[in-house]
Amino acid sequence: MALSTEAAPASKDNGRLRLLSCNIVAGASVGRYRDYVTRSWLPHPGKRANLEALARSLSEFDVVGLQEADAGTLRSGFLNQTQYIAEAAGFPYWSHQPNRRVSRLAQSANGLISRIEPNEVIDHPLPGRIPGRGALLARFGEGRDALCVVISHLSLGPEARMRQLGFIAELLQDVPYAVLMGDLNCAADSVELRELYRRTRLTPPIAPPPTFPSWRPRRAIDHILVTEELEVDSVWTLPQAFSDHLPVAASVRLPSGLQQGLRRAA
């Protein structure tokens, strides 16, 4: 975990937490399927400018979850993209969870960027036939009044997703204040997510917006899920595409006890 020593700016509204989740595909600006080859897996001069554009869009958010952020390999010009975005956006706290590595060419990571200081950040490897998926858990506050945020990028196959969500369900079982956000690669009413709702206090979103592909969004596979003790004011996508996924955002109303715990941590 890497944390800045700079003081966090005061929250604009202590009663709400504004969250954002985005699969950034290593900073590639993908506008068609062939761009995966020409932009995502190779160093590209537009990647840093794309990361800077994303950083400029984060000013209104408190906690940001990234997926497929490069951990500092050839395809990113050996740049830790989570750190770069956090510093460019003026966020005081960041952490990342490097996962699957492809030689020196690529290493994807889940990333946490926050204006609130986490009390604890834990890397959890997820089960799967092919290793390399993970869940990054950040705990804000202490005890039962802590907010647990999990950031993850799940597998493409439903069987692997079921096992991975089963692991996440164990992490969040009976946690009253929890958020799961990331590229979950499945619809909110999928069999896998219905099982997650059954085993945790997480609830299905009412109207999840489509996020993929970014140039013609048809599938809602990026989600911000919260427990029943948290109230979602709104969910939306950012209009600008920074990858093949649209960023998904949510404004969450916090109970008074949780608000106080987060203020103490900030």
User: Residue 30: what pLDDT?
Assistant: 58
231 DSSP 8-state letter: E
pLDDT one-digit tens code per residue, 3-50: 443 433 434 566 899 999 999 988 776 554 555 444 545 556 678 889
Rg (alpha carbons) of the chain, rounded to whole number: 17
Give dist(CA 92, CA 110) in Å, integer: 17
pLDDT one-digit tens code per residue, 196-229: 999 999 999 999 999 999 999 999 999 999 999 9
Give dist(CA 17, CA 191) in Å, integer: 29
Determine if the peptide bond prior to 127 is cis (ω within 30°). no
The model's confidence at residue 162, banded by pLDDT at 50, 70 and 90, is very high
* Higher per-residue pLDDT: 214 or 257: 214
Residues 152/192, Cβ–Cβ less than 8 Å: no
234 has pLDDT over 80:
yes
Nearest to 114 by CA among 68, 153, 145, 147: 147
Please list, in sequence order, all residues whose beta carbon lies within 8 angstroms of the beta carbon of residue 50, skipping any fewer than 6 positions away.
27, 28, 29, 242
Instruction: Specify the residue for token string 């069999």.
Output: 191
Domains of the chain: 14-265 (3.60.10.10)
The model's confidence at residue 145, banded by pLDDT at 50, 70 and 90, is confident
Measured in whole angstroms, the distance separating CA 104 from the mean position of its chain's CA atoms is 24
User: Residue 261: what pLDDT?
Assistant: 73
Q: At what angle do helices 81-89 and 46-56 cross, to 10 degrees?
A: 50
Mean pLDDT value of segment 240-266: 84
Percent of the chain with pLDDT over 90: 68
Mean pLDDT value of segment 167-195: 97
Give dist(CA 255, CA 145) in Å, integer: 10
155 has pLDDT over 80:
yes
User: Residue 73: what pLDDT?
Assistant: 78
Region of 90 on the Ramachandran plot (φ > 0 left; ψ -120 to 50 alpha; else beta): left
239 has pLDDT over 50:
yes
- pTM for the whole structure: 0.89
In terms of Cβ atoms closer than 10 Å to its own Cβ (0-12, 13-18, 19+), residue 198 is: exposed
Q: Which amino acid is at 168?
A: I
Give dist(CA 109, CA 116) in Å, integer: 21
Mean pLDDT value of segment 217-244: 95
User: Residue 241: what pLDDT?
Assistant: 83
Q: How many residues does the chain have?
A: 266
User: Residue 44: what pLDDT?
Assistant: 65
DSSP string over 135-155: EEEEEESSGGG-EEEEEEE--
User: Residue 157: what pLDDT?
Assistant: 95
What mean pLDDT is reported for the chain? 87
1 has pLDDT over 50:
no
User: Residue 250: what pLDDT?
Assistant: 98
User: Residue 71: what pLDDT?
Assistant: 86
Instruction: Specify the residue for token string 């949780």.
Output: 258
User: Residue 43: what pLDDT?
Assistant: 58
pLDDT one-digit tens code per residue, 88-120: 999 999 999 988 766 566 678 999 999 999 999
Question: What is the CB neighbour count within 10 angstroms for residue 136?
Answer: 26
The model's confidence at residue 131, banded by pLDDT at 50, 70 and 90, is confident
